[in-house]
Amino acid sequence: MAKLTIEELNELGLRAEAMPRHVAMIMDGNGRWAKKNGFLRAMGHRAGVTRLRELVRFSSDSGIKALTLYAFSTENWKRPDDELGVLFSLLIEFFNKEIDELHRNNVCIRSIGELDAFPLKVREAVKNAEQRTKNNGGLMLNIALNYGSQAEILRAAGALCKRAIETGELPTKDDFEQELYTCGLPELDLLIRTSGELRLSNYLLYQAAYAELYFTDVFWPDFTKEEYIKAIKEYQRRSRRYGGLE
Ligand code: IPE
Ligand code: IPE
Ligand code: MG
């Protein structure tokens, strides 16, 4: 991976100084992509994982600091066992196959969510990737696995309640954010959802307070680097007022 220069970003229609620092993606539409192309759903998931490589690379090259991907939600356990099996195998394969290149490129991998619920092999692959890349100072690549915002907020609230009982003091906003999985990450700037669904599906509800939202009808396996650039261009056109005036 080579960092893109200001000129190279300009050629793509992007302004270097206005790049989002933290992008999140709801990678949706694998199943419908498969159906549209006459494949089994499993093929859609595989195509979805394949898509990741160029998006991670572009994030890193373009100076984005953090990329947070929704890979498996707390609600996705409702899927049939065979689909869960496919998803777990693909996760193991992704972590084991991509780890060398990601590590070489200084990417720091972290999972967010409740990993304990996954089979041992998934947990091992994730933990190994986290362990190997933990000191890397490049792109922070967060993979949301058995992640749900409501569970995350409840977990934080529980931890803060315990502490408040001990200390007799109410928590601050900072205390609360320290207990979220996203602690230490830059504020979320851009949240992208593919496949035409207009909802957050329990993703980063707290963190998205002032994120710019980008929805596209493109199914995840068709979300190319060019589509990503389109999303960032749109982000750069938005006026972020945070309740104030321009
Ligand atoms: C997203 O694609 C992948 C996961 C939720 C794991 P879907 O599997 O939800 O694809 P659609 O929404 O059925 O098309
Ligand atoms: C959201 O997609 C979760 C992930 C992309 C991992 P879903 O396909 O599970 O969301 P719903 O069911 O359409 O809300
Ligand atoms: Mg879906």
Domain ranges of the chain: 19-147+187-204+211-235, 149-185
Q: Using the mean position of ligand 3's atoms as its centre, give its distance from the Cα of residue 204 in Å.
A: 17
Residue 67 has pLDDT above 70, yes or no: yes
> What pLDDT does residue 1 have?
60
Q: What is the number of residues in the chain? A: 246
Query: What's the token pair of residue 206?
Result: 């707290």
Q: Using the mean position of ligand 1's atoms as its centre, give its distance from the Cα of residue 201 in Å.
A: 12
Which residues, other chains included, contact 232 with Cβ-Cβ below 8 Å and sequence gap of 6+?
A: 14, 19, 20, 23, 62, 190
Residues in a beta bridge with 193? 26, 215
Residue carrying the six token digits 């994730």: 126
> What pLDDT does residue 154 have?
98
> What pLDDT does residue 246 have?
85
End-to-end CA distance of the chain: 37
Give 19's pLDDT tier (boundaries 50, 70, 90): very high
Relative orientation angle of helices 81-104 and 41-61, to the nearest 10 degrees: 20
Query: How far is residue 112's CA from residue 8's CA, in Å, rounded to a whole number?
Result: 33
Ligand 1: residue of 26, 27, 28, 72 to mutate (most ligand atoms within 8 A of CB) is: 28
Catalytic residues: 28, 76
Give 188's pLDDT tier (boundaries 50, 70, 90): very high
Q: Using the mean position of ligand 2's atoms as its centre, give its distance from the Cα of residue 209 in Å.
A: 20
Instruction: Collect residues with CB below 5 Å from ion ligand 3.
Output: 28
Ligand 2: residue of 45, 51, 73, 219 to mutate (most ligand atoms within 8 A of CB) is: 73
**DSSP-based three-state secondary structure for 40:** coil
Q: Using the mean position of ligand 1's atoms as its centre, give its distance from the Cα of residue 126 in Å.
A: 21
Query: How far is residue 13's CA from residue 155's CA, in Å, rounded to a whole number?
Result: 41
Burial call 210-242: b when 16+ CB within 10 Å, e when fewer: ebbebbbebbbbbbebebbbbbbeebbeeeeee
List pLDDT tens digits, range 134-183.
999 999 999 999 999 999 999 999 999 999 999 999 999 999 999 999 99
On whether the CB atoms of residues 33 and 220 are closer than 8 A, the answer is yes
> What pLDDT does residue 2 have?
82
Query: How far is residue 220's CA from residue 31's CA, in Å, rounded to a whole number?
Result: 9
> What pLDDT does residue 90 have?
98
**DSSP-based three-state secondary structure for 170:** coil
> What pLDDT does residue 243 have?
98
Q: Closest ligand 1 atom, CA of 33?
A: 14
Q: Fold for domain 19-147+187-204+211-235?
A: Undecaprenyl pyrophosphate synthetase (3.40.1180)
Average pLDDT for residues 95-120, to the nearest whole number? 97
Query: How far is residue 117's CA from residue 165's CA, in Å, rounded to a whole number?
Result: 29
Give 122's pLDDT tier (boundaries 50, 70, 90): very high
Strands, E assignment, 29-98:
66-73
Instruction: Identify the residue with better confidence: 1 or 170.
Output: 170
Instruction: Give the pocket of ligand 1 (CB within 6 Å).
Output: 27-32, 72, 76, 87, 195
List pLDDT tens digits, range 191-237.
999 999 999 999 999 999 999 999 999 999 999 999 999 999 999 99
Average pLDDT for residues 27-39, to the nearest whole number? 98
User: Mean pLDDT score of the chain, rounded to an integer?
Assistant: 98
pTM of the model: 0.98
Query: How far is residue 227's CA from residue 234's CA, in Å, rounded to a whole number?
Result: 11
